[in-house]
């Protein structure tokens, strides 16, 4: 909850004199203030725990960002709501696990895979990422290309595909959650935080690298220039002689690639799970709705908000209501949409 | 053109035939096919109500259906759930409808500010959040759902008297259908459709767009809630799996099969879906993978005919009478702009 209030205040001040400080907004600010004070007291009581939970939240946010950035990229440019994005995430984890299983020849009596080397981690990662990227391009070319502009129909097509993918995945992979093996030591010593999971730190690092790379691609390359132009005015870009179909393929490739990457990383940090598709579709939706459709900054802010809320609510909510933590996501959505119907960084499009 | 009177006669005929079906079919068919189709059809009707009159595709309807079901389950005597109340089933059902409508209004007031694909995404997010809430909050949903929810005594035994709950469902479905048809022609219903067709103009004319949309969403929540209550009466149990993302999509599939723009299509779609679901399970090749098969059916329908089965019927009918009218009854397209009034 912590970073929420700063943002809301920022949004309120950005809206300027037009923004009325209504009862609802005031109520929201008071709740946020209480949450911050509550978390502050807890933080003072146990700084190590607080640092750990914050880091947990941020690494979770990193995972969320990688998934949601692909979703928002595809939506921003092509207006395609890819309902199969969660399935891409799940398939990414499954493919990597299956490839790794082949490479490591696990002891059949053991439930876990043996520790991977760098090669036996990177090869499954790369195979999985590019398989998902190609799957994305295939879906775009076969099913979506000739439906351009028919947003609802495209969403329905990807929904239908997601059912098929989910069912086939359960058939091939089974219902038990499995972990992808990583080539690093389980945890390392950090200042203040103490012992902390290495995979989570790597995940956070990868997310930052992905974020920087995306910003550079969007702001510095020709591809990014066309994407930015396409988000604003697709017809004009086409009229200027740009082959936007190629750019669409590129965007779908990149978006699916990111979902696959996140699936592998999520499978390494947490597990590969058959219900991940719905969960990560929801996460992508919430982040993109909160942050604003098509906005990379919005995806980052939304991911951090959601990651921190998830992580703080797990630990700091009183035991009696900790099961209702998901309601916080609900209220995040409600409050943001009440103040900014197009999300924090979104524009009416 | 078929005259309005003939339409009425056909409608009454269908209801009479539907009412005697339990005497024709086995108890199993009555319960697992017919009653199930009526209940799912009612849930789909709440989706189609919003789609046809409001131009909105909502994926929160099954979540609301679940809210109603879980509320009943928690308020009456049952295995699992809160276990602190042992309310009368009728009172509990009434309260469940009130709760569902309130939740619906809350979602409606937020979602009604969005359009088209944004609305779809926002309602899907709300729907999944409701499911996650019930999944995590085991004090509300028990472990593995709420079972043995008591039924109204008048329904008798689910095994021995499946026709009673069937008739109750049939009566409520008919009432809801007539209610929606009536609603479409009230000033309020017309204003709702006006907003679908041209929001800025309606706003300029002084209509409170957000209010009208929110109330309409509340009405849809009421219909979904009715279906949710009937579902626990019929099924005597509910679990978070009932409102998982898969069933949400299958409810959308029902609405799409029926064609998003005809209320009666809801039950046509539900019947087709339930029969498919039942038959496919017994096919060797499909067997366990019934979801894949249904997904492929769904994909084909979306790819081939956006108007669903009722759309095919409509386009055939309009081809047949093309020379007489150019009203373009069979406008298909992506569905973001709902073409016709349900009661045309």
Burial class (CB in 10 A: 0-12, 13-18, 19+), B25: middle
Question: Which among B126, B137, B306 has the least Cβ separation from residue A323?
Answer: B137
| Residue B199 in tokens | 């929001």
pTM, whole model, 2 decimals? 0.86
DSSP-assigned beta bridge partners for residue A272: A178
Q: How far is B110 from chain A (nearest CA, A)?
A: 6
Where do the domains of chain B lie?
4-243
| Average pLDDT for B18-24 | 88
DSSP-assigned beta bridge partners for residue A216: none
| Average pLDDT for B166-191 | 94
Question: Is the CB of B256 less than 8 angstroms away from the CB of A330?
Answer: no
Q: Is B245 on the interface with A (CB under 8 A)?
A: yes
**Could you read off the pLDDT of B206-243 as tens digits, one per residue?**
999 999 999 999 999 999 999 999 999 998 889 998 99
Largest CA distance in chain A: 68
Largest CA distance in chain B: 66
Q: Is B137 on the interface with A (CB under 8 A)?
A: yes
Question: Is the CB of B336 less than 8 angstroms away from the CB of A152?
Answer: yes
Question: Which among B126, B291, B306 has the least Cβ separation from residue A167?
Answer: B291
Residue in chain A closest to B255 (alpha carbons) equals A156
Residue in chain B closest to A288 (alpha carbons) equals B121
Rounded-to-integer distance, Cα A207 and Cα A220, Å: 19
Q: How far is B127 from chain A (nearest CA, A)?
A: 10
Residue in chain B closest to A282 (alpha carbons) equals B125
Residue A341 included in any domain: no
Residue A129 included in any domain: yes
Give how far Cα A207 sits from Cα of A58, A68, B158, B308, Å: 10, 11, 54, 43
Residue A30 included in any domain: no
Give how far Cα B65 sits from Cα of A291, B60, B226, Å: 29, 9, 8
Per-residue pLDDT of chain A (349 residues; tens, 9 = 90+): 344 444 444 444 444 444 455 666 777 788 788 888 888 888 888 888 888 899 999 999 999 999 999 999 998 888 889 999 999 999 999 999 999 988 887 777 777 788 878 888 999 999 999 999 999 999 999 998 888 878 888 898 999 999 899 888 888 887 788 888 888 877 888 887 788 888 899 999 999 999 999 999 988 999 888 888 887 888 888 898 888 888 889 999 999 999 999 999 999 998 888 888 888 999 999 999 999 888 889 999 999 999 999 898 888 888 778 888 888 888 888 888 888 888 888 876 5
Residue A184 included in any domain: yes
Q: How far is B137 from chain A (nearest CA, A)?
A: 5
pLDDT bin (cut points 50, 70, 90) of residue B334 is very low
- Mutation target to probe the A interface, by most A beta carbons within 10 A, among B54, B116, B121 is B121
Question: Which among B110, B294, B299 has the least Cβ separation from residue A161?
Answer: B299
Determine phi and psi for A199, rounding to 5 degrees: -60, -35
Residue A274 included in any domain: yes
Question: Is the CB of B125 less than 8 angstroms away from the CB of A285?
Answer: yes
Q: Which residue has the tokens 């073409």?
A: B339
Q: Residue B79 in 3-state DSSP?
A: strand
* DSSP single-letter state for residue A113: P
Question: Is the CB of A151 less than 8 angstroms away from the CB of B117?
Answer: yes
**Could you read off the pLDDT of A285-327 as tens digits, one per residue?**
999 999 988 888 999 999 999 999 989 888 888 877 888 888 8
Question: Which among B128, B292, B335 has the least Cβ separation from residue A164?
Answer: B292
Four-residue CA torsion sign, B27, B29, B32, B38:
negative
Residues 6 or more apart from B97 whose CB is under 8 A from it?
B68, B222, B225, B226, B229
Question: Is the CB of B117 less than 8 angstroms away from the CB of A155?
Answer: yes
Question: Is the CB of B120 less than 8 angstroms away from the CB of A341?
Answer: no
Give chain A's contact residues with B (Cβ, < 8 Å): 79, 81, 143, 147, 149-153, 155-157, 159-164, 166-168, 171, 277-278, 281-282, 285-286, 288-289, 293, 323-327, 329-330, 333-334, 337-338, 341
Residue in chain A closest to B333 (alpha carbons) equals A150
Residue A207 included in any domain: yes
What total number of domains does chain A contain?
Answer: 1
Domain interval for residue A282: 58-291
pLDDT value at position A57?
93
């Amino acid at each position: 909850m912590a970073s929420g209030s700063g943002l809301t205040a920022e949004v309120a001040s950005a809206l300027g004199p037009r923004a009325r400080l209504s009862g609802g907004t005031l109520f929201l600010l008071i709740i946020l203030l209480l949450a911050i004070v509550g978390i502050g007291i807890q933080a003072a009581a146990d700084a190590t725990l607080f640092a750990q939970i914050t880091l947990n939240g941020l690494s979770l946010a990193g995972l969320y960002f990688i998934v949601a950035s692909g979703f928002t990229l595809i939506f921003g440019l092509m207006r395609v709501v890819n309902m199969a994005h969660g399935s891409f995430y799940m398939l990414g984890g499954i493919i990597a696990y299956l490839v790794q299983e082949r490479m490591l020849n696990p002891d059949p009596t053991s439930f876990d895979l043996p520790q991977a080397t760098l090669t036996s981690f990177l090869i499954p990662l790369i195979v999985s990422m590019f398989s998902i990227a190609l799957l994305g391009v295939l879906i775009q070319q076969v099913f979506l290309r000739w439906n351009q502009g028919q947003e609802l129909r495209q969403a329905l097509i990807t929904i239908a595909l997601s059912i098929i993918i989910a069912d086939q995945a359960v058939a091939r992979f089974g219902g038990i959650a499995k972990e992808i093996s990583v080539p690093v030591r389980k945890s390392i010593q950090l200042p203040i935080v103490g012992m902390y999971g290495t995979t989570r730190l790597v995940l956070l690092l990868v997310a930052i690298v992905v974020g920087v790379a995306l910003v550079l691609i969007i702001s510095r390359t020709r591809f990014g220039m066309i994407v930015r132009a396409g988000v604003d005015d697709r017809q004009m870009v086409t009229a200027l002689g740009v082959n936007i179909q190629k750019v669409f393929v590129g965007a779908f490739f990149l978006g699916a690639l990111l979902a696959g990457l996140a699936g592998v990383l999520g499978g390494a940090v947490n597990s590969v799970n058959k219900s991940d598709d719905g969960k990560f579709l929801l996460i992508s939706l919430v982040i993109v709705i909160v942050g604003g459709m098509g906005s990379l900054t919005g995806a980052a802010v939304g991911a951090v908000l959601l990651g921190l809320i998830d992580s703080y609510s797990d630990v700091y909510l009183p035991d009696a209501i900790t099961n209702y933590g998901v309601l916080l996501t609900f209220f995040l959505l409600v409050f943001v949409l009440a103040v900014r119907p197009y999300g924090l960084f979104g524009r009416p499009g | 053109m078929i005259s309005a009177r003939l339409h009425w006669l056909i409608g009454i005929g269908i209801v009479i035939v539907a009412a005697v079906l339990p005497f024709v079919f086995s108890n199993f068919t009555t319960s697992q096919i017919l009653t199930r189709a009526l209940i799912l059809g009612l849930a789909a009707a709440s989706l189609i109500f919003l789609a046809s009159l409001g131009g909105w595709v909502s994926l929160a309807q099954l979540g609301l259906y679940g809210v109603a079901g879980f509320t009943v389950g928690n308020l009456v005597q049952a295995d699992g759930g809160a276990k602190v109340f042992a309310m009368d089933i009728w009172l509990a059902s009434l309260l469940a409808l009130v709760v569902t409508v309130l939740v619906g209004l809350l979602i409606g007031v937020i979602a009604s500010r969005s359009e088209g694909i944004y609305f779809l995404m926002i309602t899907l997010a709300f729907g999944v959040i409701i499911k996650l809430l019930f999944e995590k909050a085991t004090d509300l949903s028990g472990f593995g759902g709420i079972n043995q929810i008591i039924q109204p005594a008048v329904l008798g035994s689910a095994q021995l008297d499946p026709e009673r709950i069937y008739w109750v469902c049939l009566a409520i479905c008919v009432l809801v259908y007539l209610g929606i048809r009536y609603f479409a022609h009230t000033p309020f219903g017309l204003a709702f459709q006006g907003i679908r067709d041209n929001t800025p103009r309606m706003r300029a004319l002084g209509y409170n767009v957000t209010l009208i949309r929110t109330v309409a969403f509340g009405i849809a929540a009421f219909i979904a809630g009715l279906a949710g209550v009937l579902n626990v009466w019929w099924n005597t149990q509910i679990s978070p799996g009932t409102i998982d993302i898969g069933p949400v999509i299958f409810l959308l599939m029902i609405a799409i099969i029926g064609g998003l723009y005809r209320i009666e299509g809801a039950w046509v779609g539900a019947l087709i879906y339930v029969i498919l679901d039942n038959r496919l399970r017994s096919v060797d090749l499909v067997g366990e993978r019934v979801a894949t098969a249904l997904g492929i059916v769904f994909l084909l329908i979306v790819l081939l005919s956006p108007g669903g089965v009722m759309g095919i019927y409509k386009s055939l009918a309009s081809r047949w009478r093309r020379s007489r009218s150019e009203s373009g009854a069979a406008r298909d397209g992506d569905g973001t702009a709902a073409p016709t009034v349900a009661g045309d």
